[in-house]
Structure 1
């Protein structure tokens, strides 16, 4: 299954806030009249929605998410927490969390178009796994800096997770450490995602 390219508002109305996919917010009050009063969701549907939320937020294909699940299952620690750490340390997500891009798809575009540097070298792979002490920068040309600076100007330092350090004047950021699960930018029950895939196999 490819990345979702349909209407975004429809998804956030059903799944809740997806800051990585879009900055739009659901206006809960306006939609209450059209929603049934109480729908009892099956356990399968609850797990499926958590999986869709994770996939849409990080902009992953089904195959990519399954690959991350398998890597997390083989690693030490709780599979759900390791999964979130793997996804949060992706280059496109780091750029988004630093405020260099307004959404993860926008961050992915910056990487694909070779505007982003990691430790002084161009990296054009959005799934590149960042490590502690990596320095994320921008190509030294006017076009690249203008695009990134526009996003940085609208970014609040309150939104910056503790594993990242931002240097807005230089359009740079530093990965300070591996992310703590408490700093993940998406409200999600990662155990339900792991359960979803464990029951599929």
Structure 2
């Protein structure tokens, strides 16, 4: 399955955002990568460059490739809501992202691995497709025999008191959560300017 497997800190520095979570290396060097470091004189970015960077930031944050991202944008654009907000709602409703938000995995990359290795069920059915879109009322849980995995238990213990999202509910005792509704834009913590993405695809 194709996905980005390159250096995470370098990509975060290029996009100017710690898109893969807390990163000490990024905090030390909050400037774009390059052999001349922070002393290089950089030109002001064009509107197109800013729009492209915002799209790349969203793609790498959620672990989505170009074709998938374009398909999601077209789905969002065909809906009745605000296109940019609909796009983020569709990204948030992906199974791998929901597993991460519930605290079953420390990162989205780890959540994707849990799903592809058949440790996650949706409405009681084992699902190994990370891009699976959830609907309000869907139940996401750790497969019975996988609940004793150390990586899952550690993730749940670490996030039980710091990750609360209004559109999700989670029971750490049963390792089962529910996707209650599509989130509102102000509830999504990612620092993404979705309007720039809409402008990019509207050209």
Q: TM-score, normalising length from structure 2?
A: 0.88
Higher relative contact order (CA 8 A, sep 6+): 1
- What is the correspondence of 1:95-114 to structure 2 with a 5 Å cutoff? 95-114=99-118
The answer as to 2:198 corresponding to 1:197 is no
Gaps of 5+ in 1: none
Which residue, out of 34, 37, 47, partners 2:37? 34
Deviation at 1:28, TM superposition (A): 4.7
Aligned equivalents of 2:151, 2:173: Cα separation in 1: 14
- The equivalent residue for 2:186 is 182
Please state whether the residue corresponding to 2:154 is helix, strand or coil.
Answer: helix
- The equivalent residue for 1:46 is 50
Deviation at 1:176, TM superposition (A): 1.8
Q: Is this contact kept in 1: 2:170–2:178, CA < 8 A?
A: yes
Deviation at 1:187, TM superposition (A): 0.5
For residues 65-113 of structure 1, the C-alpha deviation after alignment (integer angstroms, 9 at most, x for no partner) is 0000111110111100000000000110000011101111111111111
Deviation at 1:161, TM superposition (A): 1.3
Aligned equivalents of 1:144, 1:196: Cα separation in 2: 45
Aligned equivalents of 1:11, 1:141: Cα separation in 2: 36
Count of residue correspondences:
196
- The equivalent residue for 2:70 is 66
Q: TM-score, normalising length from structure 1?
A: 0.89
